Structure 1
């Protein structure tokens, strides 16, 4: 069962699986599975390039949940974890994709009751008059109970200064983070520099997020792996020459070190453009096309302005 996604902004799924993996859920409720939970977590995140710290953190959370259940059964004190998170990373580094995945994984781990995913932005929290912001924010938090509330570009809540209604949204979020700390997970995400500035404006806010993950820019080799995964999922194949060309394009773009480099989104745009170019090339040769021709992507399909 897929996690419910609301208010999606059409963001690109940064890391794609080559094929849908069928994995048993982690031990959940009465349906206990005779599986290695750490191995299951590795399987769930197998298609995520890099992100070793994330995988390690998820294993720590699972282990704590499992041992807490053992302690409760033994009559010992046990406390639920507070799992609010900060994600910091440049465009296209997988922040939204990871947050969506965590919703389903945490449901399977019995960390979340429902495991649904709600994505929000400033307009979903900030109202137009005094009191409206708190009302909108509380309503959004209520919908998120049992799941994850993900706020991308969270620093936009503080862009208007002290008199802006965004501050009211922040205050309301902080209150419910404390009052309902174990009933939902709040994830604030954004670009590193802007997030650091945002946190500096709100003393004590960063400390309310026990899990803080950095999403570094992908290396050229990792971007090639992501590109190949996208192509496999879409059932296309690069010729050897086209593979070299794609690698050249990625390396050249990485070497520019521009601030607006969009990592996997950049790769996704190249692939989608190449698919359109391949279609034009094939249409010009009006004949019966074999399966191999329909799948093959050549250097000519990659020779276009980025």
Structure 2
């Protein structure tokens, strides 16, 4: 079972995936694990194990091989800088603000959340939580409103990560647009509170590159750039099987073939609305509803029937 942090437990309770009683037991177990080892070596071992658990969570994601390598490089870099500091050697500054470039549904938010957990365990961030925002959360409707909205969102992220999706939209309106005010406020707080939060700007690859060109100072403030490639059809099929298994469903062989025919990643399609893993999740959730409609007409059903997704559930036919 994957290691759960307090924030994970609270989200599970709020969403109804975990009962309050079970949540209380999990929180108590987490607290006991955190305070059970008192000697320095034991505490260090516990921290290292928790970090490894998080990195294994990262490794369990389908695809993203280059992203996984880079995440481990970032972890190794931080760890070695800490060791150099203990030995009174020169260290590189820990500037961990990042640019995530890729299409929707390629795992950007998931990786950001995992990074938050790693940074919390390493002591880089005090909380490691993720605040996800977009233009509407930062840009106001009148002069002075934007700066206040932006500051409020940044304050929420103190101790964690502020993840700004479609960040390039902040620079779309030209010089008089309030989006520029949000960028200026963001840059100032990055400097004044550089040890209190990490910013991740995310969006389509080409648009993010143009965005960085509009403000040359941004590129130097975001030294880590991670590209998230589109999933292949085979990887999307793996993701769909994983989603089904989590819900105790499964695709039969015919359904797998039908799903492969439905999947057209952007490299082979002109559909700009294709959402990679997000699209697959929508397809599976819709198939589960269609399966329910198909089965509810029967007076009795077997365990296998309740689990199996058939081609007609994916295609919407009978």
- Please state which band the TM-score falls in when normalised by the shorter chain: 0.7 to 0.9
Number of the residue aligned with 1:294: 306
1:91-121 CA-to-partner distances (Å, cap 9, x unmatched) read 2111122212221222122221111111112
CA distance in structure 2 between the partners assigned to 1:254 and 1:224 by the alignment: 16
Assess, with a 3 A threshold, how the Cα gap between structure 1 residues 253 and 174 changes in structure 2: closer, same or farther. Answer: closer
Q: Does 1:181 align with 2:194?
A: yes
1:241-282 CA-to-partner distances (Å, cap 9, x unmatched) read 222222222259874342222111221121111111110110
Q: 1:159 aligns with which of 158, 172, 183?
A: 172
Partner SS, residue 71 of structure 1: helix
Assess, with a 3 A threshold, how the Cα gap between structure 1 residues 97 and 36 changes in structure 2: closer, same or farther. Answer: closer
Assess, with a 3 A threshold, how the Cα gap between structure 1 residues 274 and 84 changes in structure 2: closer, same or farther. Answer: same
Unmatched 5+ stretches in structure 2: 9-32
Q: CA RMSD in A?
A: 2.6
Q: Retained in 2: the 8 A contact 1:158–1:167?
A: yes
Q: Which has the higher helix share?
A: 2
CA distance in structure 2 between the partners assigned to 1:217 and 1:248 by the alignment: 17
Assess, with a 3 A threshold, how the Cα gap between structure 1 residues 47 and 137 changes in structure 2: closer, same or farther. Answer: same
Q: 1:170 aligns with which of 183, 189, 193?
A: 183
CA distance in structure 2 between the partners assigned to 1:134 and 1:163 by the alignment: 14
Q: Retained in 2: the 8 A contact 1:45–1:55?
A: yes
Q: Does 1:58 align with 2:74?
A: no
Assess, with a 3 A threshold, how the Cα gap between structure 1 residues 233 and 290 changes in structure 2: closer, same or farther. Answer: same
Q: Retained in 1: the 8 A contact 2:59–2:68?
A: no
Assess, with a 3 A threshold, how the Cα gap between structure 1 residues 68 and 136 changes in structure 2: closer, same or farther. Answer: same
Report matched runs for 1:129-148 at 5 Å: 129-148=142-161
Q: Does 1:125 align with 2:138?
A: yes
Number of the residue aligned with 2:57: 44
Partner SS, residue 280 of structure 2: helix
CA distance in structure 1 between the partners assigned to 2:69 and 2:265 by the alignment: 33
CA distance in structure 2 between the partners assigned to 1:255 and 1:120 by the alignment: 30
The alpha carbon displacement at 1:84 in A equals: 0.3
CA distance in structure 1 between the partners assigned to 2:316 and 2:120 by the alignment: 44
The structure 1 segments of at least 4 consecutive aligned residues displaced by more than 6 Å after TM superposition are: none
Q: 1:259 aligns with which of 250, 272, 297?
A: 272
CA distance in structure 2 between the partners assigned to 1:101 and 1:75 by the alignment: 30
Number of the residue aligned with 1:107: 120
The alpha carbon displacement at 1:298 in A equals: 1.3
CA distance in structure 2 between the partners assigned to 1:94 and 1:191 by the alignment: 13
Assess, with a 3 A threshold, how the Cα gap between structure 1 residues 274 and 157 changes in structure 2: closer, same or farther. Answer: same
Assess, with a 3 A threshold, how the Cα gap between structure 1 residues 195 and 131 changes in structure 2: closer, same or farther. Answer: same
1:101-147 CA-to-partner distances (Å, cap 9, x unmatched) read 22122212222111111111212222232222222222222221110
Q: 2:255 aligns with which of 232, 242, 248?
A: 242
Assess, with a 3 A threshold, how the Cα gap between structure 1 residues 141 and 118 changes in structure 2: closer, same or farther. Answer: same
Q: Retained in 2: the 8 A contact 1:118–1:144?
A: yes
Q: Retained in 1: the 8 A contact 2:50–2:121?
A: no
Unmatched 5+ stretches in structure 1: 5-23
Structure showing greater relative contact order (alpha-carbon pairs closer than 8 Å, 6 or more residues apart): 1
CA distance in structure 2 between the partners assigned to 1:273 and 1:254 by the alignment: 24
Number of the residue aligned with 1:219: 232
The alpha carbon displacement at 1:79 in A equals: 4.8
Which TM-score applies when normalising by structure 2?
Answer: 0.81
Assess, with a 3 A threshold, how the Cα gap between structure 1 residues 241 and 160 changes in structure 2: closer, same or farther. Answer: same
Report matched runs for 1:61-80 at 5 Å: 61-80=74-93
